Structure 1
Amino acid sequence: MAAKPAEAGPVPVAASHDGALDQSGLMHLVGYAASRASIELKKTFSRHLGPLKLKAVEFSVLVLVDTNAEVNQKQLGLALDVSPPNLAVTLDRMVEQGWIRRERSERDRRAQLIRLTPVGQALVTRARKIGQTMEQEALKVLSPAERALLIELLQRVAQKRSRHA
Structure 2
Amino acid sequence: MSSSTKKQGPAQGVLDNVVGHHLACARVTTHVTFIQHIGQPLDLRPVEYSLLMLLLANAQLTPKQLAQSLALSAPNLTILLDRMQVRGALQRVRSEVDRRSQHVMLTDAGRALAEQARALTPPMEADLDGCLSRAERALLIELLDKIARHRPA
Given the two structures, how large is their TM-score scaled by the length of structure 2?
0.87
Are positions 1:81 and 2:48 aligned together?
Answer: no
Q: Which amino acid aligns with 1:144?
A: R
**1:77, distance to aligned residue in structure 2 (A):** 0.3
Aligned to 1:133: 123
Aligned to 1:148: 138
Q: Secondary structure at the match of 2:59?
A: coil
1: CA distance, partners of 2:43 / 2:62: 23
Q: Which amino acid aligns with 1:40?
A: T
**1:24, distance to aligned residue in structure 2 (A):** 4.4
Q: Secondary structure at the match of 1:132?
A: helix
> Could you list the runs of 5+ residues in structure 1 that have no partner in the other structure?
1-18
Alignment coverage as a number of residue pairs:
143
Q: For structure 1, which segment, 102-111 or 142-151, has the greater mean C-alpha deviation from structure 2 after superposition?
A: 102-111
**1:20, distance to aligned residue in structure 2 (A):** 4.2
Q: For structure 1, which segment, 37-46 or 66-75, has the greater mean C-alpha deviation from structure 2 after superposition?
A: 66-75
Given the two structures, how large is their TM-score scaled by the length of structure 1?
0.81
Are positions 1:160 and 2:150 aligned together?
Answer: yes
**Aligned-residue RMSD, C-alpha:** 1.6
Q: Which amino acid aligns with 1:34?
A: L
User: Could you report, residue by residue, the CA deviation over 1:124-159 in whole angstroms, capped at 9, with x for unpaired residues?
Assistant: 001011112302223421100110010001101111
The structure with higher relative contact order (CA 8 Å, sep 6+) is 2
Matched ranges for 1:1-165 at <5 A:
20-50=9-39, 51-160=41-150
Higher Cα Rg, which structure: 1
**1:31, distance to aligned residue in structure 2 (A):** 1.4
**1:28, distance to aligned residue in structure 2 (A):** 1.9
**Identity score, percent:** 44
Q: Is the 8 A contact 1:40 1:138 kept in 2?
A: no
1: CA distance, partners of 2:44 / 2:132: 27
2: CA distance, partners of 1:140 / 1:111: 46
Aligned to 1:11: none
**Which structure carries more helix by proportion?**
2
Q: Is the 8 A contact 2:37 2:123 kept in 1?
A: no
Q: For structure 1, which segment, 82-91 or 28-37, has the greater mean C-alpha deviation from structure 2 after superposition?
A: 28-37
> Could you list the runs of 5+ residues in structure 2 that have no partner in the other structure?
1-7
